[in-house]
Structure 1
Amino acid sequence: MAFACQRDSYAREFSTVVASCSPAEVKTDVNGKKGILKGFHVVLKDTLLFPEGGGQPDDRGFLNDIPVLQVTRQGPDAVHFVQMPLNLDSEVHVTLDWGRRFDHMQQHSGQHLITAIADLMFGFKTTSWELGRQRSTIELDTPEVIPEQVEAIEQTVNEKIRQHIPVIVRVVSVDDPEVEKVRSRGLPDDHAGPVRIIDIEGIDANMCCGTHVSNLSHLQVIKILGTEKGKKNKTNLLFLAGNRVLKYVERSYTVEKALTSLLKNGPDEHVEAVEKMQKSVKLLQKTNLNLLRDLAVLTAQNFKSRADRGPLFSLHRKDGDNEFMNIVTSEIGTEETLIFLTVGDEKTSGLFLLAGPSELVEKLGPRVAELLEGKGAGKRGRFQGKANRMSRRPEVEVLLREALAGWQPTEE
C-alpha cells in the first residue's frame, strides 16, 4: 500500500493506531563517533513519516510528543525508531517536521526535472543521485558536460518551473503495461503492492516512492552550481532547488559583506585582492624561512664558540621546524655532543629531535618519546618524532644529563 505521506505529501499531521512495538537498537554516528542507541521500533497502521528510499532521506516528526529519530522501510512497513514504548492498538497523533519534508520534496522533484531535461536535450542518462544536506548531486552517464550544456539545462528547467506544470502521482498495479513504458532503475527486491508513477506532465514519467511537489512552480527556482568529474567516465552535476537557493544566496552575501569589510574593497575586486595577499604571504614565508635557516646556523656557531660548552645542547624554539633542527644538528656535529631540540608549543604538542653518539641515541630515544608522550623513530645517531606533552622537557634534560654523567664511549 501507499503510505499517507505518499498519498498526500503536503499533509502535516494525522492520527493512526500502533500495529506493533518492539525493543530495538540503532547505530549512530555523531561527528565521527560511532555508538549504539537503545529504543523501540514502532510500526503504525499507516504513517505520515516517509521512510528513507529512492535517494530521499527519511522524515522526522513526533508520535504524540515522542520524537521519531529514524524511519526505515522493511518490506511493506515503515518502521519508526523512538526511545519510549507505545502500547499496541493505542491511538497516536503523528506530526511532521514540515521544513525538512518540504526541502526534500523540492530537491527530489528538482532531480526528476533535471534528469528528464538532461536526457531530452542531450541524451545524458542519470545513473544515481544523492540528496545531500546542503547540495544534491546527480550522476550522469557521460564523461563530460560542457558549460554551455549546463547553462542550457538550467535555463530550460527554470522555464518549466515558470510554466506551472503539474506533477501528478498515479498508482498502478505492478503488471500494468504502463510500468514498462516509464523511466525506472527497477523495483526493489522486497517491493510489494502497487507501483507509484511520478508524472511531470508532458516531460517525464518515472517510478518513484518519494514525496514530491504537486506543481513545478513549488520548486521556485533551480540553480546548477556546476559539475565535477565522477567515477568511471561519469559526471556529477551539483544543484540546489527552492529554499536552498535562497539560503545559499544569504550565506554568499554574508561572506561577501565580511570580505568587503576585511579587504576594504568591492566584491568585484575580492579575487584580485586575495591573489595579491597570497603572493605577499608566499614572499613573507620565503623570507621567514631564510631567516630561520640563518638563525639555525648562528645558534649552532654560538654554541661551538663557547669555551664552557658542555656535552649537552638543549634548545626549544616555538616557531622552528624540522629543517631548523636538522641545520642546528648538522652545524654542531654529533660526535662529541648530545643534541636535544624541540619546536612547537611550549606546553602541549610539537616536534623533537635527539642526535648524538649512536649508542646513546639508540638507548635514550624511545625513553625521550615516552616522557614527551609522543612517538618517534631513528637511525644513525638521530631519533625524532612528535611530542604531545612538551611541558616535560625539563624531565628529558635531567634524563640526558644523568645518562651523559655515566657514559663512556665504546672503543672501536
Structure 2
Amino acid sequence: MEMNELFYRDAYVKEFDGVVVSCEKMKDGYGIVLDDTAFYPEGGGQPGDTGYLNDVKVTDTKRIEDLVVHLCKESIAVGTVVHGRIDWDRRFDNMQAHTGEHLFSGLVHHLYGYDNVGFHMGEVIQVDFNGPLSWQDVNKVELLANQAIWRNEPVIIQYPDEKTLSELDYRSKKELQGKIRIVCVGKEDVCACCGTHVQSTGEIGLFKVLTCEKHKGGTRLTMLAGSKAYAYVSMLFEQGQKISHLLSAPMEQLASSVEKLQKEKTAADGKLQQYVRDNLLQKVQNARVENGLMILFGEGVSRNDLRHCAKQALLQEEVKTIAICSKEDNSSYSYLIMSECLPLRTLGKQLNQLLDGRGGGSDELIQGTFLKEQEEIVTVLKEVLHG
C-alpha cells in the first residue's frame, strides 16, 4: 500500500484535497496524478472510480506503472490544489458487489472446492468457477450468503507478515510477491484482494444470482448485490403486479395461471389451424381448373397443411399442377407448388426471379416465399405454369 492511496487507508472517504504532481497528455485526454487520492484505480475485477477534481470530470481511474492515474478530458496544472469528489453511489455499489462476490466465492470454495477463475464487475457481477454447479447448488450458496449478510459479520483487511501468511489458508488467483493484502469476510472467506470493501456483511444488503450456465468445463454465474439487487427485485415485483392484474390472478399463482393460459392458447391454435385447413380444402373442392392448373390463396396456412391440401387437389383427375399461396404477417406469401407433368425445379427459378421469390425443391415440388402482391402472383403463375 502506497502512502498516496487514501482509498486503502479509508475506503469511505467521499471527498478530499490533493495536489497535482503530474499531468500528461494521453490519447483521449489527460492523465493526472495526485500526491494523495481516494479514487480507486481499476483492478482485481473492480472498475476504476469516476467523479471530479475541482470542476474537471474524472472519467476513469487506472494504475499505470504503479501510479494512480485519473483520466480526464481537461488538463490541470502541476502544483494545483484540487478538491476531489468521488461518484460515491457508484463506488459504494462496487464495494457492495465486490464484498458480495467474496462472500459467494468463499462459500463455493468451502462447499465444493472450486476456485473463482474469472471475475468482472459491470452492470452485473460475472464470476467463473472451475467446476460444475447446478441451480440447486447455486440456490443453496445464495441462501447461505444472505444469511451471512443478515448476521452482519465483520469484514477485516490485514497485511500479514510472512510467517502468518505462510500459515494462512487463503484464496488467490495467482502467485503473489511482497506485501499481501488479505480480505476476511466473516467466517466465509479469506482472500488476497486489492479492491475496496464494505466494513461488514450487513452493508451488502442483498445478494441475488441471476444466471447459471456451463462455461469451459466449469460454471459462469451472473449476480447482483446491494442496491442493484434491490432495484432488480423491485422491478420483478412491479412486473409481477402488472401480470397479476392482466391475468386477474394472485402473484403467488402466476406460474400456474400462465401454464393454464398456454394450454388454452395451444388448444385455440389447434382449432384455428384446423379451421384454416378445412377452409382451404373447401377451396380445393370449389376452385377453377384452367388447362390442368389450380391456383389457391389462403392466410396463415402451415407448410404441412399446404402440402396436405396440394396432395388432395392432385387427386382430382383434371388437376395436373397445383399452386397454393398463404399470406404471412409481413405481407409476403409462402408458396407450395406440386405438379405431375412440369419440370418445377427449373420453373421455380423463373418464378422466383419474376416474383422476388426465394425457395426451391425438386421437379415434383417446390416451395418458398414470394414478395409480390396477389394479383401479380396469379398472372405470373398462369404465364409460367401454363407453358
Do they fold alike, i.e. is TM over 0.5? yes
* Map of 1:36 onto structure 2: none
Write the distance in 2 (CA, Å) between the matches of 1:67 and 1:113: 33
1:257 Cα deviation (Å)?
Answer: 1.6
* Map of 1:167 onto structure 2: 155
1:128 partner amino acid = V
CA contact (8 A) 1:129 1:136 kept: no
1:344 Cα deviation (Å)?
Answer: 0.6
In the alignment, which of 9, 13, 18 is matched to residue 11 of structure 2? 9
Q: CA, structure 1 residues 291+162, in 2 after alignment: closer, same or farther (shift >3 Å)? A: closer
In the alignment, which of 162, 172, 176 is matched to residue 184 of structure 1? 172
Deviations 1:253-292 (A, max 9, x none): 2123223212223223333322222221222222222223
* Map of 2:93 onto structure 1: 103
Write the distance in 2 (CA, Å) between the matches of 1:114 and 1:321: 49
Write the distance in 1 (CA, Å) between the matches of 2:198 and 2:377: 68
Write the distance in 2 (CA, Å) between the matches of 1:61 and 1:377: 61
In the alignment, which of 339, 348, 352 is matched to residue 368 of structure 1? 352
Write the distance in 1 (CA, Å) between the matches of 2:377 and 2:146: 68
Write the distance in 2 (CA, Å) between the matches of 1:117 and 1:329: 63
1:145 Cα deviation (Å)?
Answer: 6.3
TM score, norm. by length of structure 2 = 0.75
Seq. identity, %: 26
Q: CA, structure 1 residues 289+400, in 2 after alignment: closer, same or farther (shift >3 Å)? A: closer
The alignment partner of 1:230 has SS state of strand
1:111 partner amino acid = E
Deviations 1:34-79 (A, max 9, x none): xxxxx44635346655444323344444566566555555553566
Write the distance in 2 (CA, Å) between the matches of 1:403 and 1:338: 13
Matches within 5 A, 1:337-352: 337=321, 339=323, 341-345=325-329, 347=331, 349=332, 351-352=334-335
* Map of 1:323 onto structure 2: 304
CA contact (8 A) 2:206 2:230 kept: no
1:209 Cα deviation (Å)?
Answer: 2.0
CA contact (8 A) 2:207 2:226 kept: yes
* Map of 1:35 onto structure 2: none
1:106 Cα deviation (Å)?
Answer: 0.8
- Consecutive unaligned residues of structure 2, counting only runs of 5 or more, are none
Q: CA, structure 1 residues 55+351, in 2 after alignment: closer, same or farther (shift >3 Å)? A: farther
Q: CA, structure 1 residues 61+403, in 2 after alignment: closer, same or farther (shift >3 Å)? A: farther
1:247 partner amino acid = A
Write the distance in 1 (CA, Å) between the matches of 2:198 and 2:84: 21
* Map of 1:209 onto structure 2: 194
Deviations 1:311-344 (A, max 9, x none): 4625252x22222332333333497436252431
In the alignment, which of 12, 21, 24 is matched to residue 20 of structure 1? 24
Write the distance in 1 (CA, Å) between the matches of 2:197 and 2:103: 11
Deviations 1:204-262 (A, max 9, x none): 4321122211222311243567x846346645666543223422332232123223212
CA contact (8 A) 1:20 1:88 kept: no
2:205 partner amino acid = Q
1:186 Cα deviation (Å)?
Answer: 0.9
1:198 Cα deviation (Å)?
Answer: 2.0
In the alignment, which of 282, 294, 297 is matched to residue 298 of structure 1? 282
The alignment partner of 2:280 has SS state of helix
TM score, norm. by length of structure 1 = 0.71
CA contact (8 A) 2:345 2:360 kept: no
Write the distance in 1 (CA, Å) between the matches of 2:335 and 2:69: 55
Write the distance in 2 (CA, Å) between the matches of 1:313 and 1:380: 18
CA contact (8 A) 1:61 1:94 kept: yes
Deviations 1:6-28 (A, max 9, x none): 444333345553532222xxxxx
Q: In the alignment, does 2:383 pair up with 1:380?
A: no
In the alignment, which of 190, 194, 200 is matched to residue 185 of structure 2? 200
Write the distance in 2 (CA, Å) between the matches of 1:250 and 1:206: 32
Write the distance in 2 (CA, Å) between the matches of 1:351 and 1:179: 72
1:208 partner amino acid = C
1:313 partner amino acid = I
CA contact (8 A) 1:369 1:376 kept: no
Deviations 1:355-387 (A, max 9, x none): 556545524436526743x64333224443356
Q: CA, structure 1 residues 69+299, in 2 after alignment: closer, same or farther (shift >3 Å)? A: farther
- Consecutive unaligned residues of structure 1, counting only runs of 5 or more, are 24-38, 408-412
Q: CA, structure 1 residues 117+127, in 2 after alignment: closer, same or farther (shift >3 Å)? A: closer
CA contact (8 A) 2:51 2:58 kept: yes
* Map of 1:257 onto structure 2: 241
Q: CA, structure 1 residues 293+10, in 2 after alignment: closer, same or farther (shift >3 Å)? A: same
CA contact (8 A) 2:54 2:84 kept: yes
The alignment partner of 1:10 has SS state of coil
Write the distance in 1 (CA, Å) between the matches of 2:138 and 2:348: 65
CA RMSD of aligned residues (A): 4.2
2:14 partner amino acid = R
The alignment partner of 2:46 has SS state of coil
* Map of 1:267 onto structure 2: 251
CA contact (8 A) 1:297 1:328 kept: yes
Q: Greater CA deviation, 209-218 or 351-360?
A: 351-360
